[in-house]
Copies of this chain bind each other. A is one copy, B any other.
Amino acid sequence: MVDVVRSKKPSVHKRTPAGGAPTAPRSAAEAQRADALEPRIDIAAVGELLLGTWADARRESREMIKDEAFWQIPGQPMPEHRERVLGQLHRFVDAGAAGRAYPVEHGGQGDNGGNLASFEELVLADPSMQIKAGVQWGLFGSAIQQLGTTKHHAKWLDDVRTLKLPGAFAMTEMGHGSDVAAIGTTATYDPETDEFVIHTPFRAATKEFLGNAALHGRAATVFAQLITGGVNYGVHCFFVPIRDENGQNLPGVSSEDDGVKGGLNGIDNGRLAFDHVRIPRENLLNRYGDVAADGTYSSDIPSPGRRFFTMLGALVQGRVSLDGASTTGAALAEYIAITYANQRRQFDSGAGTDEVVLLDYGKHQRRLLPRLAQTYAQFFSHDQLLRRFDGVFGGEHDTPAEREDLETLAAALKPLSTWNALETIQECREACGGAGFMAENRLVDLHHDLDVYATFEGDNTILLQLVGKRLLSDFAKQFKGKDAASLARYAVGQTAGKIFHGAGLRQLGQSVADFGSTARSVELGLRAEQQHELLAGRVEQMVTDVATALRPASKLKPAEAAALFNEHQAELIEAARAHGELLQWEAFAEAVEAITDAGTRRVLTWLRDLFGLHLIEKHLAWYLISGRLSGQRAASVSRYIGRLCTRLRPHAQDLVDAFGFAPEHVRAPIALGGEQQRQDEARAYYAALAASGEAPISEKTLRKQKK
């Protein structure tokens, strides 16, 4: 099956004349571009690189979704869309594609990395299907797998995999999303009957936004405060049946439909509330905490805080997969917008010749190419994340420290990639003008569906704050054991450094050194090592600055300490973002280092540079204020980006072709040659008209004739 895909590829992705290379150079800029044409990327090899470690799993998934039964139908009303997506999940089971990460004894393959890789590709067919699959097998199923024990696996996992038991993942409540520890639902143990009583004590404790809750779910993994013997042992997860075989709510369970959402309307999100619903004691998913028949609580993890975070951490795969899916979504948008921009013409150049292809405009390159570089970076950083995930969940590298690192990495990357997807898709939609607004061209639905990726599975801002706190605690560890005086000296040193930078002294020196520098020498100062130094230095300095600012907190009253933290919250989040950007850049740089083909390496080095410079440009004011870039060098950053865009322009089509999307994945008419055909037809018409001698003359010509 895989071979069929590969052998088909060349015909699908052949380079049209209107694609990468303009046919006849007609300006200095174009001539320059023609020269730059010499190195070419090996499209197939880059495609392999982008598919990453689990390329086969991705190819299998892509092959499956070539079947139009899996495709989103723009504008399909919500009820039909929901049923269609449920049907798609059944097809998915029939294809043997479900539950790949589950244990072999329950029909899975124990393949954690491959499971997420194949799941991420579903975004190309219909993000509703991707997320509904994620709810069923990734959240509901994973809660049973990761938080339950073998007895739970034996009882439910087969039915979860085969969709005989569709389920909801009931963590979020109306009143508490990001702050899971504060949820209101209670699970109170009753030793008389050996049962837990699941209860929603007030409206805000209603479980909310749950996929499968409005219609299809038969059970739910419900997070609740575990109370036994008058003690609250914190949040635990319980398996709670919610509907009978006819789809009727079980006694004490009430559900509501969330109705229409901003996207993902193929999923039946809804609310669940419980009125003293009794479940057997055995339904506590007891891997990290258990209750004996007499009500005694026990856990391998004594610290309630660590126990809570261990349980949440077991569910990190949602975040991991969103990082991948949003990267693939952004890549699809770029494929569409860049292919269109290589065919669509608008306005003549003023040189009196043909109309200009959109991607030949400097501004259009500026809009699309840095984002393409960003998406490439994400493919590489995501593969690293996925490998780390597989290492931990496959058991190869499963230590608390590795888990913590994995969670931090996921929390750093998921916000960046989901936000980038939204911004990129929007930019692509606008770059396609009115055509981009037509649903058939995919971009708008892609934006609508991926919108919520920024706030579910961990709100992006909250995730970055988590990363920021981790950076602060790592920073603090450096000084563990050192005395207060040395810390104080360090802090003072930092401040002095800042003033030194701020006053422009170091800046001035650099300026003078740069003075009169040619373009080439400026670029030399912004090459790989310098990019890394600038990006890494920024993280270091920002963390140091926040840590220094927060040092007095330990001596303050809680309320004052909270106020001080609040004052620096935005900076801490910025530091975390800088950290994520650095990781993406490093992943890109590592990938480029491994490339042996000279043309590919050269072009991807330019793309990596564009990504690095794009990040530096975004934070240019910071680099100037901190004295890390002189005004002269800073000014050269934008010019350098412009030159990189010019260099990369002839490779733009190759770079999106390397994503390896088949027409069945793209589906947008504007990116499947329709525009090119219309342009050719129009040009042929005018050529024939001119040749016929019957073309009307212009007023200007008329006036000349009259004179």
Q: How many whole Å from A566's CB to the nearest CB in chain B?
A: 5
Q: Could you tell me the distance between the alpha carbons of A262 and B438 in the complex, rounded to whole angstroms?
A: 6
Cβ-defined contact, B562 with A349, below 8 A: yes
Interface-facing stretch out of A91-99, A114-122, A243-251, A498-506: A498-506
Given contacts A208-B434, A451-B437, A511-B504, contact A569 B259 (CB under 8 A): no
The one of B75, B455, B562 in contact with A78, judged by C-beta atoms closer than 8 angstroms, is B75
User: Interface code A430-458, partner B: CB below 8 Å = 1, 0 otherwise?
Assistant: 10011011111001110110011011100
Task: Say whether A540 faces chain B, with CB atoms less than 8 Å apart.
Answer: no
Q: How many whole Å from A672's CB to the nearest CB in chain B?
A: 15
User: Could you jot down 9 A-B contacts, CB within 8 Å?
Assistant: A178-B433, A179-B355, A227-B696, A230-B697, A259-B440, A263-B444, A362-B568, A502-B631, A504-B511
Interface-facing stretch out of A8-16, A132-140, A332-340, A674-682: A674-682
Top 6 A-B pairs, shortest CB-CB distance: A262-B444, A75-B260, A620-B621, A260-B439, A351-B559, A29-B563
Q: Could you tell me the distance between the alpha carbons of A304 and B703 in the complex, rounded to whole angstroms?
A: 11
Given contacts A259-B75, A362-B567, A434-B456, contact A27 B448 (CB under 8 A): no
Interface-facing stretch out of A146-154, A198-206, A396-404, A654-662: A198-206
Residues of B within 8 Å of A353, CB to CB, are 559
Closest to A350 in B: B562
The one of B29, B260, B698 in contact with A566, judged by C-beta atoms closer than 8 angstroms, is B29
Give A627-686 interface residues, CB cut-off 8 Å to B.
Answer: 627, 630-632, 634-635, 642, 677-679, 681-682, 685
Q: How many whole Å from A576's CB to the nearest CB in chain B?
A: 11
User: Interface code A41-77, partner B: CB below 8 Å = 1, 0 otherwise?
Assistant: 0000000000000000000000000000000001101
The one of B569, B617, B699 in contact with A232, judged by C-beta atoms closer than 8 angstroms, is B699
Residues of B within 8 Å of A294, CB to CB, are none
Closest to A304 in B: B699
Residues of B within 8 Å of A37, CB to CB, are none
Given contacts A203-B681, A620-B621, contact A642 B567 (CB under 8 A): yes
Q: How many copies does the complex hold?
A: 2
- Given A182-B355, A350-B565, output 10 extra A-B contacts at Cβ < 8 Å: A26-B559, A74-B259, A75-B77, A175-B678, A202-B682, A205-B682, A260-B439, A304-B698, A448-B448, A625-B635
User: Chain A: residues with CB nearer than 8 A to chain B?
Assistant: 26-30, 74-75, 77-78, 172, 174-179, 182, 184, 201-205, 208-209, 225, 227, 230-234, 258-263, 265, 304, 346-353, 355, 360-363, 366, 422, 426, 429-430, 433-434, 436-440, 443-445, 447-448, 451-452, 454-456, 459-461, 465, 501-505, 507-508, 511-512, 515, 557-563, 565-570, 573, 617, 620-621, 624-625, 627, 630-632, 634-635, 642, 677-679, 681-682, 685, 696-700, 702
Q: How many whole Å from A411's CB to the nearest CB in chain B?
A: 16
Closest to A696 in B: B232
Cβ-defined contact, B444 with A430, below 8 A: no
The one of B201, B465, B505 in contact with A685, judged by C-beta atoms closer than 8 angstroms, is B201
Q: How many whole Å from A568's CB to the nearest CB in chain B?
A: 8
Residues of B within 8 Å of A177, CB to CB, are 346, 433-434
Q: Could you tell me the distance between the alpha carbons of A175 and B684 in the complex, rounded to whole angstroms?
A: 14
Query: Which among A225, A452, A621, A642 has the highest number of chain B CB atoms within 10 Å?
Result: A621
Residues of B within 8 Å of A347, CB to CB, are 178-179, 182
Cβ-defined contact, A696 with B362, below 8 A: no
Residues of B within 8 Å of A351, CB to CB, are 557-559, 561-562
Q: Could you tell me the distance between the alpha carbons of A244 and B415 in the complex, rounded to whole angstroms?
A: 54
Residues of B within 8 Å of A456, CB to CB, are 434
Cβ-defined contact, A261 with B444, below 8 A: yes
Q: How many whole Å from A215's CB to the nearest CB in chain B?
A: 15
The one of B28, B258, B439, B459 in contact with A559, judged by C-beta atoms closer than 8 angstroms, is B28
Q: Could you tell me the distance between the alpha carbons of A568 and B179 in the complex, rounded to whole angstroms?
A: 49
